[in-house]
Amino acid sequence: MPTSTVNKAPLTTTPPAADKTYCSALADLTGGGLTSVNIIYGNGSAVRAAVGTYTCSVAALIVADGNGFLIGNFDVTYKIADIIVAPFVHTITVKA
């Protein structure tokens, strides 16, 4: 009887880059779909993170099997993204 081999399918998770202004925060996200995917924010996500670009600070992680999706059937590549913190612009109006 012939034998066959089933290889794992490639799967890449790519989170979106995150933009925020100084004095705002980014909260981790949990999503659904085929399985549970969490977006995790690292350096630069805090309220008082300094203005600038925080490279490699956003990750999308597959955390559970579900709805017929079995992580063991995939060769997963996890990509990362940046957080960009922009200055908080405020206007001061002086009345005479």
Q: 6: how many CB neighbours lie within 10 A of its CB?
A: 6
User: Phi and psi (nearest 5°) for 68?
Assistant: 85, -5
Q: 44: how many CB neighbours lie within 10 A of its CB?
A: 21
Residue 63: its pLDDT value, please? 66
Q: Would you call 71 helix, strand, or coil by DSSP?
A: helix
- Cα torsion at 15, 37, 31, 41 (round to 10°)? -50
Can you give the residue ranges of every domain in the chain? 10-86
Of 33 and 83, which is predicted with more confidence?
Answer: 83
pLDDT single digits (tens) 3-20: 999 899 998 888 888 999
Distance, CA of 14 to CA of 63 (rounded, Å): 15
pLDDT single digits (tens) 28-79: 777 655 557 788 899 999 999 999 999 999 988 876 676 677 888 889 899 9
Q: 92: how many CB neighbours lie within 10 A of its CB?
A: 4
